Chains A and B, each alone.
Chain A
Amino acid sequence: MSRIVTPVSVAFLPLTDSAPLIVAREKGFAAEAGIELFLHKTTSWATLRDMLVYGQVQAAHMLAPLAIAVTLGLSQHPAALSAPFKLNLNGSALSMSTEFAAALDPDPAKRIADPVGAAHDFAAAIGLHRRKPVIGVVHRYSSHALMLRYWAGFAGVDPDRDLALRVLPPSLMVEAMRSGEIDGFTAGEPWSSVAVAAGLAEIVAVGSRIWRRGVEKVLAMRTDWMDDNPDTVDRLIVAMARAAAWCDDPANHAELAALLEQPAYVGQPAPAILPALAGRIMLRRGAAPVEIDDFLIFAREAANFPWRSQALWIYSQLVRWGMVAASEDAERRAADVFRSDIYRRALAKSGLPMPGASMKVEGAIGAPIGVGSHGATLTLGPDRFFDGRIFDPQNIGAYLTEADTPAVE
């Protein structure tokens, strides 16, 4: 390995799932791979996007749908972005005001355990609420906004008609709950835990129970930079893979929470950060924490592998909600954002289990199964959608016809 130290600047937002980047720097994984990692904390997805697109940073902790949206020219200046590495799976929650939540199942644990029942209750509660529920989402192209749409859409809710989705930065959600500006929000952790601890909200759904292996953040970079710097990219991915594995190890969670607590990183108290790491979530203030397995996955089961089928699921949702018109060209460009080939190249010698394929049918695994892989044995955990639907990336049209598809404006 080259002994040259290469500086790489990466932008992030203060969220629990920025952890692998922070760990790559703080625990020396980046330095061992010959990368000096400079982390730039930003406060909006717009600024993170601009810094990446205009070259102020080489990579970013980005919402997976946003990386696809920028590539498709849906979010300001179009730029071809690539995601050769996923930073995590899931880790988000939907929190509603205690007033709204009173119309749902009185036992918060049952809401989480039965997302089908909870979706129907949620739909019924909309009509009972004193106004059209205003729900904060962090961005039009956020993973959890798509998850909320998918979950509510199942129960016949048209999110654009029946809900008022209000875009707010994650760090302002709790304040907006306090002032009554919003009735609920969906965001990455630690923000739901912070709102619950303040007694302002109850967690009524979690991403990992809507899609058991839901795509969340990716390590995004400009495709031209990635193509011009293969050696740096490979070393960066090696460092990230080691950092992600460190983050996934329960033995490190206390240390990780203490790292993230620092003002330069997430800047929230460790007790608000730990629940998501441990998968022990307090759903209502004062209630005993509930065990939610797979709440947030950093590395295991090749979680970082960018399956092209996952990019296509995101694309299918953008089409479903009228954010982009379906076309073969858009479909191909969306799939191309997830660069499983670069992941393979960078980690070929790592000994990590390497999936044999780059596409799979999403939502078909009910119990852990071994799959075709190179190197170590690879077991994939359950990846079901809560409604039992299966996404075949070869047949997006049929998948969408089944769903309630509004016309593109």
Chain B
Amino acid sequence: MRIVIVDDSGLRATVLEEGLREAGYDDIHVVPPHGAFVARIERMAPDVVLMDLGNPSRDTLEEMLVVSRALARPIAMFVDQSDDQMIGAAIDAGVSAYVVDGLRKDRVKSILELAIRRFNAFAKMQAELDEARSALADRKAIDRAKALLMKSRNLPEPEAYALLRTTAMNQGKKIVEVAEALITAHSLLGGTE
């Protein structure tokens, strides 16, 4: 069974491809949706095309499915139209699948289930990465604000931090918000660090 993954994100495509290979599929091609990608897919004559729902080129791909003479059999979206739960899970995970008509439902279903799991795993990984990035950025801002207070008000570090924390509590804000406000105010007033 030939599977084409249309994806911009190298990492997500890799995550999906690995999963499919582990499951025993070995005829897998990753095609980034640029330029004449539709012609490439046509030549490959895949049985299944997996694509990120957020990809703006979905309309381009669907048009190919409508007009293509190269694909002998029509391709329909999602496998089992009666399986609403599965369709919902696929949309939530952000996967769309185009499948050659006549392919055995259970085989396609297992591919789609795998794609959903892998897409979700990738999204979770991405979210954790974003969270780690923003935590790092927060810490940097708090450190800068602390340094400003230590310098301008001659405070030792624990007291500078305590001042940020009490201000945040009194204003019902996050410490990082107070820190960022302080940094902005400082630069507006022409301060240097």
CB within 8 Å of B: which residues of A? 42-47, 50-51, 54-56, 75-77, 138-140, 166-169, 171-172, 179, 181
Q: Do the beta carbons of B62 and A76 come within 8 Å of each other?
A: yes
Compute how far the CA of A98 lies from the CA of B107 in the bound complex, rounded to whole angstroms. 51
Q: Do the beta carbons of B56 and A43 come within 8 Å of each other?
A: yes
Compute how far the CA of A124 lies from the CA of B35 in the bound complex, rounded to whole angstroms. 28
Residues of chain B in range 49-76 having any CB-CB distance to chain A below 8 Å: 53-63, 66, 76
CB within 8 Å of A: which residues of B? 35, 53-63, 66, 76-78, 81, 84, 87-88, 91-92, 96
Residue from A50, A56, A138 within 8 A of B77 (CB atoms): A50
Compute how far the CA of A140 lies from the CA of B62 in the bound complex, rounded to whole angstroms. 10
Chain B residues whose C-beta falls within 8 Å of the C-beta of A169 in the assembled complex: 56-57, 59-60
Tell me how far the C-beta of A68 lies from the nearest C-beta in chain B, rounded to whole angstroms: 16
- Which A-B residue pairs are the 10 nearest by beta carbons? A169-B56, A167-B63, A43-B56, A46-B58, A44-B58, A76-B77, A44-B59, A47-B53, A167-B60, A54-B87
Q: Do the beta carbons of A47 and B60 come within 8 Å of each other?
A: no
Chain B residues whose C-beta falls within 8 Å of the C-beta of A51 in the assembled complex: 91
Tell me how far the C-beta of B39 lies from the nearest C-beta in chain A, rounded to whole angstroms: 11
Tell me how far the C-beta of B69 lies from the nearest C-beta in chain A, rounded to whole angstroms: 11
Knowing A50-B91, A51-B91, A54-B84, the reply to whether A139 touches B77 (Cβ < 8 A) is no
Tell me how far the C-beta of A207 lies from the nearest C-beta in chain B, rounded to whole angstroms: 19
Q: Do the beta carbons of A140 and B91 come within 8 Å of each other?
A: no
Q: Which residue of B lies closest to A47 (CB)?
A: B53
Chain A residues whose C-beta falls within 8 Å of the C-beta of B92 in the assembled complex: 56
Compute how far the CA of A179 lies from the CA of B36 in the bound complex, rounded to whole angstroms. 12
Compute how far the CA of A171 lies from the CA of B56 in the bound complex, rounded to whole angstroms. 8
Q: Do the beta carbons of B56 and A172 come within 8 Å of each other?
A: yes
Q: Do the beta carbons of A50 and B53 come within 8 Å of each other?
A: yes
Knowing A47-B54, A76-B77, the reply to whether A138 touches B59 (Cβ < 8 A) is yes
Q: Do the beta carbons of B77 and A44 come within 8 Å of each other?
A: no
Compute how far the CA of A51 lies from the CA of B57 in the bound complex, rounded to whole angstroms. 16
Q: Do the beta carbons of A140 and B57 come within 8 Å of each other?
A: no
Residue from A54, A55, A167, A179 within 8 A of B59 (CB atoms): A167
28 residue pairs of the A-B complex, CB under 8 angstroms, read: A42-B54, A43-B55, A44-B55, A44-B56, A46-B59, A47-B54, A47-B96, A50-B77, A50-B91, A51-B91, A54-B84, A56-B92, A76-B76, A76-B77, A77-B78, A138-B59, A139-B59, A140-B66, A166-B60, A167-B59, A167-B62, A167-B63, A168-B57, A169-B60, A172-B56, A172-B57, A179-B35, A181-B35
Compute how far the CA of A47 lies from the CA of B78 in the bound complex, rounded to whole angstroms. 13
Most chain A CB atoms below 10 A, which of B56, B57, B77: B56
Q: Which residue of A lies closest to B36 (CB)?
A: A181
Chain B residues whose C-beta falls within 8 Å of the C-beta of A77 in the assembled complex: 76-78, 81
Chain A residues whose C-beta falls within 8 Å of the C-beta of B59 in the assembled complex: 44-46, 138-139, 167-169
Q: Which residue of A lies closest to B76 (CB)?
A: A76
Knowing A44-B55, A171-B56, the reply to whether A54 touches B91 (Cβ < 8 A) is yes
Q: Which residue of B lies closest to A51 (CB)?
A: B91
Q: Do the beta carbons of A56 and B57 come within 8 Å of each other?
A: no
Chain B residues whose C-beta falls within 8 Å of the C-beta of A172 in the assembled complex: 56-57
Tell me how far the C-beta of B86 lies from the nearest C-beta in chain A, rounded to whole angstroms: 10
Q: Which residue of A lies closest to B88 (CB)?
A: A54
Q: Do the beta carbons of B62 and A55 come within 8 Å of each other?
A: no
Knowing A76-B77, A77-B78, A140-B63, the reply to whether A50 touches B96 (Cβ < 8 A) is yes
Q: Which residue of A lies closest to B61 (CB)?
A: A46
Chain A residues whose C-beta falls within 8 Å of the C-beta of B66 in the assembled complex: 140
Compute how far the CA of A167 lies from the CA of B60 in the bound complex, rounded to whole angstroms. 5
Q: Which residue of B lies closest to A165 (CB)?
A: B63
Knowing A50-B53, A77-B77, A181-B35, the reply to whether A168 touches B88 (Cβ < 8 A) is no
Chain A residues whose C-beta falls within 8 Å of the C-beta of B61 in the assembled complex: 46
Residue from B54, B62, B81, B96 within 8 A of A43 (CB atoms): B54
